[in-house]
Amino acid sequence: MTLDGQTGFERRPSPSRAPLVQRARHLGTQANARLTSSTALVLLVLLAIEGVTVVRVGSMLTLHVFIGMLLVPPVLVKLASTFWRFAKYYTGSREYREKGPPPAMLRLLGPFVAITTIILFASGIVLLLGPTAWRGDMSLLHKASFVVWFACMTVHVLGHFKETAQLSTQDWVRRTRARVAGSRSRRLVITTSLASGVLLAFATIPSVGHWVGAR
């Protein structure tokens, strides 16, 4: 017989409530996974377009800069959601511990993906907006970091492809979005990051002409 809290025994959930308790306990990991995967899909589309501009960057410099700056806020969202999972797991969160870490290779690769992403975008922004005297060094750093980033990102994308394919659209489809609480907030985060990226891109486009003139 289950006794109440006054006797010092914990009240156990009834069998009918057990699935609800289990579902509530895993909302954090599932919500994080959905946000990460949805953002990853957005980034894959934009990065594919950016990849086309890399091949012909001389004639497509304006578009290259526009997409690059548009990518900055979604990239920050992706880094934040990934770091959140990392922090929750290594600080002992029960639900994140139960879900478990990514495969060992992806776990080891993760910091390199994050670091090279930050270096790639930071060097590109400094190259565009920084002092002319820095442009030689920043150009070299931007190109070198792209090579390393591309190699790391290829493995990263392939390793997470299945999860991204399964989860990336679930917050956007009526049939599945209500299964994990907070879908509206996650959609708002992603759309706001894209809107912010567009504003940032338009704000920095005039610098392309100044950069070409200085070059």
- 150-195 confidence digits (pLDDT tens): 999 999 999 999 999 999 999 999 899 888 989 999 999 999 999 9
Q: Note the pLDDT of residue 213.
A: 56
Average pLDDT, the chain: 86
Alpha helices in 4-93 (DSSP H): 18-25, 27-55, 61-90
Question: What percentage of the chain has pLDDT greater than the value 90?
Answer: 60
> Model confidence over 74-132: pLDDT tens digits?
999 999 999 999 999 888 888 888 888 888 888 889 999 999 999 999 999 999 998 88
HSE, side-chain direction, 13 A CA sphere, residue 23: 9
Q: Are the beta carbons of 85 and 128 closer than 8 angstroms? A: no
pTM: 0.83
Q: Are the beta carbons of 77 and 200 closer than 8 angstroms? A: no
CA dihedral 202, 203, 208, 210 (to 10 degrees): 150
Q: Note the pLDDT of residue 13.
A: 47
CA dist 64 and 43 (Å) reads 15
Distance between terminal CA atoms of the chain? 81
- Give the Cα-Cα-Cα angle 182, 188, 193 (nearest 5 degrees): 135
